[in-house]
């Protein structure tokens, strides 16, 4: 395992460290999963959660065959570089306030090109960020409202079989998303996923409550599934996988 | 010849004649009424009355004598000689055609007193025929596969001018129309269209000892991957004992031996037997299927023991196998594009976990993963795919190596292959010096398997003119996004085309290909040495065209791979049927904008790879171009033509010796007799031509004179005197 992991890390880490935001990647790295943090509206203080994006990549590389860039970057909604890659995370703990017209335009183009945006509420108890983000995104996609993703949605089986979403907090047992066509393009999480992944030195920065270690593992699995959803879209909905997954779900639920 | 006749004066209308006759009859009736009870010399009254009536009528009508002088000419006789290729069948040491031409000559001599027109008929149209010229060309190219007498008779009936008094048909009777099952009533109707007796000269009545494929029928359309039933009728004629006749259907492919699709045995109970073979053509496009029989000993016509059929195989849906070594944004973009196309049936397998990955699970049931069914995919299911996309997958690590020979054969057999770049593609994935390398459009060199430097690929001249990239160039002209790194590709193989090249890296003597297209056997392959085309779907660059450039590129690549005519620079077709031994021509139609030299390479389908013909036409004028292929042998051929630097276009076709015309070698004297009988004509053999009835000659007027019997005043005077006499007779009888 170490050999394979080190090879992929060798592909991704050094050059990413050299320049997290430039295009000077290694071959294969330009197509690698890259969780970028979105700046839009009022600037959010993410603190240690910024490291959660890097950990997201690290877990993806450790657990799956997918390559990822380990050092996260930030991108502003009104920058054209938002359109450089199809994935971005918008996290925060307070109402982001109204988005500027340029930010709305940028996000609109991002979504219309097919990008995936994860809205991660760092303080689900207050829900201020989630509500504010939903309000602003309704300006970006006025014709689309979020819907609850069915438990059979592919996002719950892109790599792990996940029964319910969790993050730093247990949160609601569902994921809501804005679905365009067949794709869930804006995913609303009320579980502080980045909080569950955040690191402080060699340790996880924030406790996962109430489930502890097991809950963190499930949070990581959800993060891996979201990454795989971004990379493979509805691959696991293909007919060829259906009988296997049905049998496995049946075994898990006595 | 001189003829004389009586007539009325010129210029007297018919109405006047009827009026005079009516008046005369009325007068006679009145006279008879007057004389009915009279006695004495009433006879004088009646006689003088009649005379007066006649002379008054003559004074009005003024009769004249008409003298006619004319000549006698022979009747028009049309001799229709069967010009079907079937008449090249041997008979009595000659060909039926030679016998037919000699019989036509004999007919001309027999009808020496008539005006004989010799015409040839085949597909319905009539052509003048000169026996001596026709005898000098043993197998002229203008002979047709059909023998349409009905069409010929209808064409004759519609010709303006003099109708023939007799028609003589010279044939063996195995017409396409009228068919063998046509009833007598419809034959009479056909004969009535020309309004003349149809005499028949049968060139032969002896069926050769021959086993043949009489007909091949298919039920339904030919769709890739779906079974198609061939109903094959085998015939045995001339007293040949056939018993059981093995039948085989093979697909002719380039570079490999014919592939056996199905075989069976026709059990002959009478003269014919039918066998049904179910074949499945896996590849869409023009496919050639050879159906052959093993004839019994004594078969005298081997040319009709096999037929080569051309099938235009369509697709229900394009069935693609997409295999990716790891999930990336590039994989995502390709999958989303493939899934968005309803005409594509996508089977995808992505390697999501390797043995080295730590999933932190106690058991696999926590994972939504299934084993990669590599053996099943590349053995059992491989033929069912129209194309395979290998995207950044390591052949060594994922146990693909052992299946690469089969995958290479799949491509040579007509499958499509796209290898998409990434660290584990091409040489980086262990494909160098593997069997698959030989079917890729590029060589895979040694050294570092990839380079990490950013670059912008450059269009080659072929890339700029290739229809496959037209969609992309229409959006961005020559502009391309920056790609991060490139696979190390060798030089393009012969007959491969480089569309994009690296601006800095070299392969052999030229720039390194980045995107190349090639043909291998019956299949096509594409090498794309980057893993960043997703930048055409999602990037700042892509945003300028709202992401449409990605679809434009891949529409072209997959379309070209599947031989979609929209992405070919040329359209090829045969200018007429290809008959073995006769000169054949190929027509090339270039797309607008396709300029440059036109080169053609003709290869025989099968294991032989040496071209039978190569040609180049320097800068031909715009418009369709016809290229002489010369006289080809029996078999399937693949013509690969190229205009300028654009990728070549391929066209497969078959050449047969006898073709459908020779499928049934038996003459049909009975049908000939029925046609003759239906038109009141006679049916004779070639030796009995002298027994045909010669139609009477036609008299044609040359001079006509019109002389009055008496001048008008004489008729008037005579009528007056006669009326006076009649008046006198009536006075004597007291009738005034």
**Residue B557 shares a structural domain with residue B440:** yes
Does residue B9 surpass a pLDDT of 80? no
DSSP-based helix, strand, coil % in chain A, nearest 5: 45, 15, 40
Rank A185-194, B27-36, B239-248 by mean pLDDT and report only the highest: A185-194
Which of the 8 DSSP states describes residue B492?
B
CB contact under 8 A, B482 and A109: no
**Quick check: is A225 in a domain?**
yes
Averaged pLDDT for residues B674-687: 93
DSSP-based helix, strand, coil % in chain B, nearest 5: 30, 35, 35
**Which of B473, B488, B469, B567 lies closest to B524 in space, CA to CA?**
B567
CA–CA dist B502, B107 (Å, integer): 76
**Quick check: is A191 in a domain?**
yes
CA–CA dist B452, B504 (Å, integer): 13
CB contact under 8 A, A114 and B547: yes
CA–CA dist B325, B306 (Å, integer): 47
Q: Are B516 and B492 in contact (CB under 8 A)?
A: yes
- What string of DSSP letters covers A164-180? S--SSB---S--EEEEE
**Residue B144 shares a structural domain with residue B56:** no
**Residue B112 shares a structural domain with residue B29:** no
CATH of the domain at B185: 3.40.50.410
Mutate which: A2, A11, A24, A27, vs B, most B CBs within 10 A: A27
**Residue B157 shares a structural domain with residue B19:** no
Q: Are B416 and B386 in contact (CB under 8 A)?
A: yes
Q: At which residue do the structure tokens 């290479």 appear?
A: B408
Does residue B729 surpass a pLDDT of 70? yes
Averaged pLDDT for residues B353-357: 90
Does residue B457 surpass a pLDDT of 50? yes
CA–CA dist B697, B442 (Å, integer): 80
Q: Helix, strand, or coil here: B103?
A: helix
How many structural domains does chain A have?
1
Q: At which residue do the structure tokens 């829900």 appear?
A: A127
**Residue B110 shares a structural domain with residue B51:** no
Neighbour count for residue B589 (Cβ, 10 Å): 12
Residues 6+ positions from B362 with CB-CB distance below 8 Å: none
Q: Helix, strand, or coil here: A29?
A: helix
**Quick check: is B238 in a domain?**
no
**Residue B647 shares a structural domain with residue B506:** no
The share of chain B scoring above pLDDT 90, in percent, equals 60
**Quick check: is A219 in a domain?**
yes
Q: Are B708 and B62 in contact (CB under 8 A)?
A: yes
**Quick check: is A189 in a domain?**
yes
* Set of chain A residues whose Cβ sits within 8 Å of the Cβ of B326: 65-67
Task: Return the half-sphere exposure (C-beta side, CA atoms, 13 A cut-off) of residue A170.
Answer: 6
pLDDT value of residue B645: 78
Regarding pTM above 0.80, the answer is: no
pLDDT value of residue A250: 63
Does residue B359 surpass a pLDDT of 80? yes
- Segment (H or E) for B94: strand B94-95
**In sequence order, what are the beta bridge partners of B515?**
B500, B528
Structure confidence by residue, pLDDT tens digits, B492-547: 998 789 999 999 999 988 999 999 999 888 899 999 999 999 999 999 999 999 99
Q: At which residue do the structure tokens 């059990």 appear?
A: B267
How many structural domains does chain B have?
4
Averaged pLDDT for residues B630-635: 93
**B361 → chain A, closest CA residue:** A160
CB contact under 8 A, B538 and A29: no
Averaged pLDDT for residues B158-185: 91
Mean pLDDT score across all residues of chain B: 90
**Gap from B381 CA to chain A (nearest CA, Å):** 13
**Residue B163 shares a structural domain with residue B84:** yes
pLDDT value of residue B67: 82
Neighbour count for residue B222 (Cβ, 10 Å): 18
CB contact under 8 A, B370 and A244: yes
pLDDT value of residue B222: 86
With 0-12 / 13-18 / 19 or more C-beta atoms within 10 angstroms meaning exposed / middle / buried, residue A43 is exposed
CB contact under 8 A, A161 and B452: no
CB contact under 8 A, A114 and B358: no
CATH of the domain at B630: 2.60.40.1930
**Quick check: is B290 in a domain?**
no
**Quick check: is A236 in a domain?**
yes
Does residue A5 surpass a pLDDT of 60? no
**Gap from B470 CA to chain A (nearest CA, Å):** 22
pLDDT value of residue B362: 87
**In sequence order, what are the beta bridge partners of B642?**
B599
Averaged pLDDT for residues B189-193: 88
Structure confidence by residue, pLDDT tens digits, B477-496: 999 999 999 999 999 998 78
Averaged pLDDT for residues B254-266: 92
**Quick check: is B98 in a domain?**
yes
Domain that holds residue B340: 318-355+368-561
Domain boundary among B495, B527, B561: B561
Q: At which residue do the structure tokens 């995808």 appear?
A: B348
**Residue B636 shares a structural domain with residue B727:** no
Give the residue with greater pLDDT, B529 vs B136: B529
Which of the 8 DSSP states describes residue A160?
B
Backbone angles phi, psi at B97, to 5 degrees: -65, -45
CB contact under 8 A, A245 and B451: no
**B393 → chain A, closest CA residue:** A65
pLDDT value of residue B36: 80
Give the residue with greater pLDDT, B391 vs B712: B391
Averaged pLDDT for residues B671-699: 91
Domain boundary among B605, B639, B660: B660
CA–CA dist B388, B410 (Å, integer): 10
Averaged pLDDT for residues B61-86: 88
CB contact under 8 A, A65 and B354: yes
Mutate which: A30, A152, A184, vs B, most B CBs within 10 A: A30
Averaged pLDDT for residues B622-644: 91
* Set of chain B residues whose Cβ sits within 8 Å of the Cβ of A228: 327, 352
Structure confidence by residue, pLDDT tens digits, A12-61: 444 344 333 344 467 878 899 999 999 999 888 888 999 999 999 999 99
Query: Is the bond into B579 cis (omega within 30 degrees of 0)?
Result: no
Does residue B180 surpass a pLDDT of 50? yes
pLDDT value of residue B594: 74
**Residue B708 shares a structural domain with residue B588:** no
**Residue B602 shares a structural domain with residue B641:** yes
* Set of chain A residues whose Cβ sits within 8 Å of the Cβ of B370: 240-241, 244
Domain boundary among B511, B542, B561: B561
CB contact under 8 A, B329 and A157: no
**Quick check: is B636 in a domain?**
yes
**Residue B135 shares a structural domain with residue B31:** no
* Set of chain A residues whose Cβ sits within 8 Å of the Cβ of B338: none
Which of A28, A115, A231 lies at the smallest CB-CB distance from B423? Answer: A28
CA–CA dist A165, B464 (Å, integer): 50
Domain that holds residue A204: 31-252
CB contact under 8 A, A33 and B369: no
pLDDT value of residue B139: 59
Neighbour count for residue B50 (Cβ, 10 Å): 16
CATH of the domain at B474: 3.40.50.880
Rg of chain B (C-alpha set):
42
**Quick check: is A120 in a domain?**
yes
**Residue B155 shares a structural domain with residue B198:** yes
Does residue B143 surpass a pLDDT of 50? yes
**A111 → chain B, closest CA residue:** B538
**Quick check: is A238 in a domain?**
yes
**Quick check: is B169 in a domain?**
yes
Mutate which: A58, A65, A156, A238, vs B, most B CBs within 10 A: A65
CATH of the domain at A242: 3.40.50.12140
């Amino acid at each position: 395992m170490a050999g394979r992991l080190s090879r992929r890390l060798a592909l991704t880490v050094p050059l990413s460290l050299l320049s997290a935001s430039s295009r000077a990647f290694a071959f294969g790295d330009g197509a690698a999963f890259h969780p970028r943090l979105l700046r839009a509206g009022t600037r959010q203080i993410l603190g240690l959660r910024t490291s959660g994006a890097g950990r997201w990549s690290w877990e993806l590389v450790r657990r799956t065959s997918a390559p990822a860039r380990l050092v996260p970057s930030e991108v502003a909604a009104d920058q054209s570089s938002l359109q450089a890659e199809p994935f971005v995370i918008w996290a925060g703990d307070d109402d982001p306030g109204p988005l500027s017209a340029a930010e709305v335009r940028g996000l609109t183009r991002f979504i219309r090109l097919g990008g995936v945006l994860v809205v991660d509420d760092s303080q689900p108890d207050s829900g201020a960020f989630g509500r504010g983000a939903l309000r602003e995104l309704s300006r970006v996609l006025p014709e689309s409202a979020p819907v609850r993703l069915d438990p059979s949605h592919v996002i719950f089986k892109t790599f792990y079989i996940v029964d319910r979403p969790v993050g730093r907090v247990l949160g609601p047992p569902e994921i809501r998303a804005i679905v365009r066509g067949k794709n869930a393009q804006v995913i609303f999480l009320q579980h502080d996923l980045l909080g569950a992944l955040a690191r402080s030195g060699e340790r996880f920065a924030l406790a996962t409550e109430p489930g502890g270690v097991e809950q963190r593992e499930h949070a990581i699995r959800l993060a891996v599934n979201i990454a795989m959803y971004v990379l493979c879209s509805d691959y696991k909905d293909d007919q060829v996988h259906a009988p296997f997954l049905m049998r496995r779900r049946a075994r898990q639920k006595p | 010849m001189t003829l004389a006749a009586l007539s009325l004066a010129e210029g007297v209308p018919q109405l006047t004649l009827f009026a005079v006759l009516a008046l005369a009859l009325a007068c006679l009736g009145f006279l008879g009424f007057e004389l009915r009870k009279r006695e004495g010399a009433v006879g004088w009254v009646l006689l003088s009355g009649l005379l007066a009536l006649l002379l008054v009528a003559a004074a009005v009508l003024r009769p004249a004598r008409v003298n006619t002088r004319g000549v006698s000419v022979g009747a028009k006789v049309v001799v229709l000689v069967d010009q079907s290729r079937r008449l090249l069948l041997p008979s009595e040491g000659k060909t039926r055609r030679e016998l037919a031409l000699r019989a036509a000559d004999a007919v001309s001599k027999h009808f020496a007193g008539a005006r004989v027109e010799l015409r040839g008929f085949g597909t319905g149209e009539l052509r003048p025929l000169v026996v001596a010229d026709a005898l000098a060309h043993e197998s002229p190219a203008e002979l047709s596969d059909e023998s349409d007498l009905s069409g010929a008779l209808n064409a004759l009936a519609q010709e303006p001018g003099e109708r023939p008094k007799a028609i003589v048909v010279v044939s063996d009777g195995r017409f396409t129309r009228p068919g063998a099952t046509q009833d007598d009533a419809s034959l009479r109707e056909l004969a009535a269209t020309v309004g003349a007796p149809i005499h028949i000269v049968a060139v032969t009545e002896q069926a050769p000892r021959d086993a043949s494929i009489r007909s091949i029928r298919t039920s339904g359309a030919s769709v890739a991957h779906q079974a198609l039933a061939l109903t094959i009728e085998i015939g045995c004629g001339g007293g040949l004992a056939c018993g059981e006749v093995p039948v085989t259907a093979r697909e002719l492919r380039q570079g490999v031996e014919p592939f056996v699709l199905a075989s069976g045995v026709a059990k002959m109970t009478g003269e014919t037997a039918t066998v049904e073979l179910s074949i499945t053509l896996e590849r869409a496009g023009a496919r050639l299927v050879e159906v052959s029989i093993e004839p019994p000993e004594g078969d005298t016509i081997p040319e009709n023991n096999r037929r080569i059929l051309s099938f235009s195989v369509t697709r229900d849906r394009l069935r693609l196998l997409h295999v990716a070594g790891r999930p990336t944004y590039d994989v995502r973009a390709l999958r989303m594009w493939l899934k968005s196309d309803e005409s594509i049936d996508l089977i995808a397998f992505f390697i999501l976990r390797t043995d080295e990955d730590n999933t932190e699970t106690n058991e696999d049931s926590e994972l939504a993963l299934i084993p990669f069914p590599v053996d099943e995919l590349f053995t059992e299911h491989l033929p069912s795919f129209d194309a395979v996309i290998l995207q950044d997958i390591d052949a060594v690590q994922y146990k693909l190596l052992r299946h690469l020979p089969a995958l290479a054969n799949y491509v040579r057999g007509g499958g499509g292959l796209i290898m998409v770049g990434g660290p584990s593609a091409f040489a980086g994935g262990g494909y160098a010096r593997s069997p698959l390398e030989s079917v890729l459009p590029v060589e895979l060199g040694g050294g570092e398997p990839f380079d990490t430097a950013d670059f912008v690929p450059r269009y080659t001249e072929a890339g700029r003119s290739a229809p496959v990239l037209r969609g992309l160039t229409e959006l961005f002209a020559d502009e391309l996004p920056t790609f991060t790194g490139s696979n190390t590709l060798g030089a393009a193989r012969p007959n491969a085309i480089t569309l994009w090249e690296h601006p800095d890296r070299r392969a052999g003597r030229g720039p390194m290909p980045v995107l190349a297209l090639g043909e291998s056997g019956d299949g096509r392959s594409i090498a794309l040495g980057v893993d960043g085309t997703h930048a055409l779907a999602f990037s700042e660059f892509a945003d300028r065209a709202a992401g449409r450039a990605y679809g434009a590129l891949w529409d072209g690549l997959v379309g070209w791979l599947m031989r979609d005519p929209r992405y070919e620079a040329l359209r090829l077709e045969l200018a007429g049927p290809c008959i073995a031994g006769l000169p054949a021509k190929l027509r090339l139609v270039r797309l607008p904008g396709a300029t440059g030299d036109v080169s053609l390479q003709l290869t025989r389908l099968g294991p032989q790879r040496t071209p039978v013909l190569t040609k180049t036409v320097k800068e031909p004028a715009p418009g369709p171009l016809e290229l002489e292929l010369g006289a080809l042998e029996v078999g399937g051929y693949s013509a690969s033509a190229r205009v300028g630097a654009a990728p070549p276009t391929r066209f497969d076709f078959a050449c047969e010796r006898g073709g459908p015309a020779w499928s049934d070698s038996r003459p049909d004297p009975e049908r000939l007799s029925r046609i003759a009988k239906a038109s009141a004509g006679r049916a004779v053999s070639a030796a009995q031509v002298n027994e045909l009835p010669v139609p009477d000659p036609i008299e044609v007027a040359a001079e006509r004179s019109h002389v009055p019997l008496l001048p008008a005043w004489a008729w008037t005077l005579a009528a007056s005197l006669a009326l006076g006499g009649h008046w006198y007779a009536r006075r004597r009888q007291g009738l005034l």
